[in-house]
Amino acid sequence: MKTQDSLSTLSSGMLPAEKMSILTFRLAEQRYGLPVTAVTQIIEMVAITRLPQLPKGIQGAINVHGRIVPVLDLRLRFGLDCVPYHLFTPIILTEFDGRMLALVADAVDEVIICPLTAETFVVEAQQLPVHQTKYIGSVLEFEQAIIPIIDLNNILSQNEQNLLTHIGREFAQSQMVAGG
């Protein structure tokens, strides 16, 4: 089980220390969660600029208030079938370790507030048998639902982060040259 110290890193600063808030969203029929503290905004689908040589699941980049933000389709990252985007496909903008990342999901459900206790987390990700759990930090039990919590620190490998930083710089420079 998670220790109280490691669980406190998920807690929102706006809630009492014994509570945390989680944004829940769906991929296929599975419900997932993200700590609200990592979510900056939820937007509807916008035009994604396709870039060459991107890792699996990274669809391209979008411009968010002047920042070039890579777009990661979580369905593809988790090995699910690709589905076409539509106007209302949600993009969850996240920020962690000074990096922005846009996550494409099937639907955004709600923000849940749950107790921050070791009993709330039924298992740590290392104890799960599926290889995709490298993207999952823990599994939350909330109102009879099991909700895997995405670990943003592991959603991109170090090589992918380096590549995206490099491509982002090149893309930003090309935009400046094209713009004037």
What structural domains and CATH numbers belong to the chain?
4-175 (2.40.50.180)
**pTM (2 decimals)?**
0.80
45, 31 contact by CB (below 8 A): no
Supply the pLDDT for residue 20: 84
Using alpha carbons, select from 56, 118, 61 the residue that is nearest to residue 82: 56
Read off the pLDDT of residues 25-79 as tens digits, 9 standing for 90 and up.
999 999 999 999 999 999 999 999 988 778 889 999 999 988 889 999 999 999 9
Q: Is 81 exposed, middle or buried (0-12, 13-18, 19+ CB in 10 A)?
A: exposed
142-174 pLDDT, tens per residue? Answer: 888 889 999 998 898 888 888 877 776 766 666
Closest CA to 11 of 140, 125, 144, 101: 140
Q: What is the pLDDT of residue 172?
A: 63
Task: Name residue, tokens 């922005």.
Answer: 100
As a whole number of angstroms, the distance between CA 28 and CA 35 comes to 20
Average pLDDT, the chain: 80
